[in-house]
């Protein structure tokens, strides 16, 4: 029985779920991108909705911020509700001079400073990675939507604020493209449950240049990312 997601049996969760961090962003997606959307859960105000996109069932579920929160909600989706595919949609900060504000980044793998993967008992370092089947669809969708998708290793960090202003530079030297806070837990849960997951993020902040996206940029860039994510459902 799920402790953090409650559903009305008349409105089951779809096999594919889009997961923004912000529950109000989930509400926005349901109201602006889905047809006949209904809210199936509002426990702790972490909203979840099910609707259709071109007649295909799809759900949108807020994950909250950080790996513990993503770990809870994605685990319950996979384990308790039979979800097969989760697409994280969010924001990230760029470590790369070649990745600019507004670019969309796909996390092929998620390095992390978290010990989240320690619970799985692997005798070594497990590398949380995306689903290849979803990756192919994301690439196709990006091309159809004329979005220049960037892809590579990203960092899922337990920390939003750091005491050392240069903390990110060793990660940059290892070719890590950007930082966010959820993908590693999502990928690890998907691997454990033999399900599919992928994370795509728009760049809202830049560690090299110090730039930050304006509110107008955030809205436009989010729309580009959403088009990529939601159109995978038809592929």
Asked if residues 50 and 12 have their Cβ atoms less than 8 Å apart, the reply is: yes
Alpha carbon separation from 63 to 22, 45, 67, 72, 132 (Å, rounded): 7, 11, 9, 8, 22
> How many angstroms separate the most distant Cα atoms in the chain?
51
Give me the active site residues, please. 205
Give the residue from 115, 112, 132 showing the smallest Cα distance to 198.
132
- Please compute the mean of the pLDDT values over residues 203-232 and round it to a whole number: 90
Task: Give domain 16-234's CATH architecture.
Answer: 3-Layer(aba) Sandwich (3.40)
Q: Of 7-11, 17-21, 133-137, which range is least confident?
A: 7-11
Residue 182, pLDDT above cutoff 90:
yes
- Please compute the mean of the pLDDT values over residues 160-173 and round it to a whole number: 97
Question: Mean pLDDT of all residues in the chain?
Answer: 95
Confidence tier at 7 by pLDDT (50, 70, 90): confident
- Please compute the mean of the pLDDT values over residues 36-43 and round it to a whole number: 94
How do beta strands 56-61 and 35-41 pair?
Answer: unpaired
- Please compute the mean of the pLDDT values over residues 104-123 and round it to a whole number: 96
Predicted local distance difference test score (pLDDT) of residue 9:
75
**Angle between helix 215-231 and helix 132-144 axes, rounded to 10 deg:** 120
Q: Of 53-67, 151-165, 192-206, 212-226, which range is least confident?
A: 212-226
Predicted local distance difference test score (pLDDT) of residue 2:
81
Predicted local distance difference test score (pLDDT) of residue 189:
98
Predicted local distance difference test score (pLDDT) of residue 3:
86
- What's the pTM? 0.96
Confidence tier at 28 by pLDDT (50, 70, 90): very high
- Please compute the mean of the pLDDT values over residues 198-211 and round it to a whole number: 96
Confidence tier at 32 by pLDDT (50, 70, 90): very high
Tokens of 88: 């994280």
Residue 218, pLDDT above cutoff 80:
no
Q: Of 165-169, 177-181, 220-224, which range is least confident?
A: 220-224
Residue 69, pLDDT above cutoff 90:
yes
């Amino acid at each position: 029985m799920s402790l953090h997601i409650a559903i009305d049996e008349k409105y089951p969760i779809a096999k594919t779920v889009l997961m923004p961090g912000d529950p109000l962003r989930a509400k926005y997606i349901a109201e602006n991108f889905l047809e006949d959307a209904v809210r199936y859960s509002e426990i702790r105000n972490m909203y979840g909705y099910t609707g259709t996109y071109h007649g295909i069932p799809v759900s949108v579920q807020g994950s909250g911020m950080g790996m513990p929160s993503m770990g809870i909600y994605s685990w319950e989706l996979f384990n308790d509700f039979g979800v097969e595919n989760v697409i994280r949609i969010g924001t990230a900060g760029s470590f790369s001079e070649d990745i600019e504000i507004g670019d969309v980044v796909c996390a092929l793998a998620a390095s992390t400073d978290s010990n989240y993967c320690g619970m799985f008992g692997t005798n070594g370092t497990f590398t949380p990675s995306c689903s290849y089947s979803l990756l192919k669809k994301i690439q196709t969708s990006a091309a159809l939507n004329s979005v220049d998708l960037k892809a590579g290793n990203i960092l899922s960090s337990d920390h939003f604020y750091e005491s050392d202003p240069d903390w990110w530079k060793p990660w940059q030297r290892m070719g890590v493209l950007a930082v966010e806070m959820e993908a590693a837990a999502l990928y690890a849960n998907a691997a454990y449950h033999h399900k599919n997951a992928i994370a795509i993020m728009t760049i809202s902040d830049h560690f090299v240049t110090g730039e930050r996206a304006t509110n107008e940029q955030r809205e436009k860039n989010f729309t580009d990312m959403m088009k990529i994510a939601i159109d995978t459902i038809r592929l």
